């Protein structure tokens, strides 16, 4: 019964113009993409924009582990591992090619005894900006109002209102209240 339901969903989505590659890479009109995500259980806030392609791995039949707040921007080529929950806050800006990893599994080799499979949440706070190619690893939390520089790898917690950079990401300095933040309004993103 489950495979019949899945087949009907795929048929319905294809009839409306969705194209899927590698099982869950979405290339379609932005409004349709939001409807597809919602149909598969994701919670997406009002006014959120998600560019394509959007790559989802870990759970192909159920996107309920994905929560994105209101008026958030997600750039193209972002990868979401939905083995565990991914939560992105309100008015956040996620640049192109960001990766959200929620699980670790090294396979069946000898490393499995040293690194057993594990899953952890990923949380990005409100009004947070992630630069291009940022990777956020399982169990990480990025505080509200923080900025993460391009190419950083976040492992662990980044406090509120700081600039973090590097591999692994480290706090560079606090962000002053009057300091310019990336635009979070629709006119600036258009």
Mean pLDDT of each 10-residue bin along the chain, 190 residues long = 58 59 58 84 94 83 92 95 95 97 86 86 97 97 97 97 96 81 50
CATH no. of 2-174: 2.160.10.10
What per-residue confidence (pLDDT) applies to 23? 46
Q: Domains of the chain: which residue ranges?
A: 2-174
What per-residue confidence (pLDDT) applies to 22? 37
CA–CA distance from 186 to each of 71, 120, 134, 156 (Å)? 8, 32, 23, 31
What per-residue confidence (pLDDT) applies to 7? 60
Alpha-carbon gap, residue 114 to 21, rounded angstroms: 34
Residues 163, 147: contact at Cβ < 8 Å?
Answer: yes
What per-residue confidence (pLDDT) applies to 40? 86
Element (H, E) at 57: strand 54-57
For residue 99, give the nearest of 129, 147, 136 by alpha carbon: 136
- 90: Cβ–Cβ under 8 A, 6 or more apart, which residues? 45, 69, 70, 71, 72, 126, 127
What per-residue confidence (pLDDT) applies to 190? 43
Residues forming beta bridges with residue 74, ordered by sequence position? 50, 94
What per-residue confidence (pLDDT) applies to 102? 95
* Burial grade of 156 (CB within 10 A; 0-12, 13-18, 19 or more): exposed
What per-residue confidence (pLDDT) applies to 183? 53
What per-residue confidence (pLDDT) applies to 24? 54
């Amino acid at each position: 019964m489950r495979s019949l339901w899945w087949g009907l969903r795929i048929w319905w989505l294809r009839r409306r113009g969705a194209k899927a590659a590698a099982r869950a890479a979405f290339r379609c009109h932005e409004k349709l993409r939001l409807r597809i995500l919602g149909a598969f259980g994701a919670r997406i806030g009002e006014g959120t924009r998600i560019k394509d392609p959007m790559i989802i791995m870990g759970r192909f039949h159920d996107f309920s582990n994905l929560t994105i707040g209101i008026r958030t921007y997600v750039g193209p080529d972002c990868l979401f591992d939905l083995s565990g929950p991914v939560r992105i806050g309100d008015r956040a800006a996620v640049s192109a090619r960001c990766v959200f990893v929620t699980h670790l599994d090294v396979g069946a080799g000898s490393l499995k005894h040293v690194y057993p499979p594990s899953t952890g949440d990923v949380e990005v706070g409100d009004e947070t900006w992630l630069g291009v190619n940022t990777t956020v690893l399982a169990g990480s939390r990025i505080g509200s109002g923080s900025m993460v520089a391009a190419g950083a790898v976040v492992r662990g917690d980044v406090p509120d209102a700081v600039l973090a950079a590097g591999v692994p990401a480290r706090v560079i300095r606090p962000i002053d209240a009057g300091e310019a933040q990336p635009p979070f309004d629709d006119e600036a993103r258009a």
